[in-house]
Amino acid sequence: MKLELQDIHQGYGERIVINGINVTFETGKIIVLLGPNGCGKSTLIKTIAGIMKPRNGKVNLDDVDVLEMDPSERAKRIGYVPQNFVYMPYTTVLETVLVGRTPYMGWEPSDEDLSAVERSMRMMDIDDLMYENVNELSGGQRQRVFIARSLTQDTDFYLFDEPTNALDLKYQLDTMDLMRRLVTEKGIGVIMAVHDLNIAIRYADDVIILKDEHIVLHGPPREVITTESIADVYGVNAEIVENRNGLYVLASNSINQRQ
């Protein structure tokens, strides 16, 4: 299965953020979007999800325009976790995660729906929080709740906008290990926008770097994340080192730092 972006243009008011992007995403991979603040990572994620209508171009899922799909059917094919969550403050974790099963549910949740919720909460290590109110959780706990909610959708593609941002180190690694396992075992596709170059270099199958409204680099992380590209895209001097656990990016200082 594939998501194909054809000549995507996007922006806000008169400001152009994405200008003529053409790229195809396939299942069975983790694709990481990188780039400086304001380069269009979140905007591109929202456009793929059908949250924003492209100013020009189309997003096709297996040759069908996602905007022409029934919203319920689209929700069965594409899951989306934004940076900022909208939720009812006094709903429980269980009720919140169950929302992810809306495309499949009738008037009441089935045994299959409840099993999917239980499985997703267990995967995100929040089953002990199921009766807690979401507004009483920490930011990191809420993040895990909303990732669990998306996992209950059982989709072909998952779109994550900074999924590890609020998580502590343990849950960053646990969440990314889970993504890798799901991609390997279920053959799903994961597209995520992140800032952490070390997450990208460790977990991505492909990396897309955005800058100045365009894709400037696209390929395997070892080929795309280099000292040269980091200097050009982020304006930072960095060293890439390797040990028995893999490659790591060590940033040293900003280039032409203001005094």
Question: In three state form, how does the secondary structure of 90-108 look?
Answer: CCEHHHHHHHHHCCCCCCC
User: Please, what are the domains in the chain?
Assistant: 2-89+153-225 (3.40.50.300), 226-259 (no CATH)
Tell me what pLDDT residue 257 has.
61
pLDDT value at 88 more than 80: no
Mean pLDDT, range 207-217, rounded to an integer:
94
pLDDT value at 81 more than 60: yes
Tokens representing residue 66 in the block? 């996602």
Tell me what pLDDT residue 254 has.
87
Tell me what pLDDT residue 258 has.
52
Tell me what pLDDT residue 207 has.
97
Mean pLDDT, range 224-235, rounded to an integer:
94
SS3 state at 151: helix
Please state, for a pLDDT cut of 90, what percent of the chain lies above it: 80
The pTM score is: 0.93
Tell me what pLDDT residue 259 has.
47
Higher pLDDT pick, 204 / 254: 204
Which DSSP helix (H) or strand (E) runs through 232?
Answer: helix 227-234
Contacts with 19 (C-beta within 8 Å, 6 or more apart), sequence order: 9, 213, 214
Tell me what pLDDT residue 165 has.
85
Give the tens place of pLDDT for each residue, 126-135: 999 999 999 8
Give the tens place of pLDDT for each residue, 162-206: 998 888 999 999 999 999 999 999 999 999 999 999 999 999 999
Mean pLDDT, range 223-230, rounded to an integer:
94
If you average pLDDT over every residue of the chain, what do you get? 91
Tokens representing residue 210 in the block? 């955005």
User: How far is the CA of 92 from the CAs of 119, 131, 230, in angstroms?
Assistant: 17, 5, 42
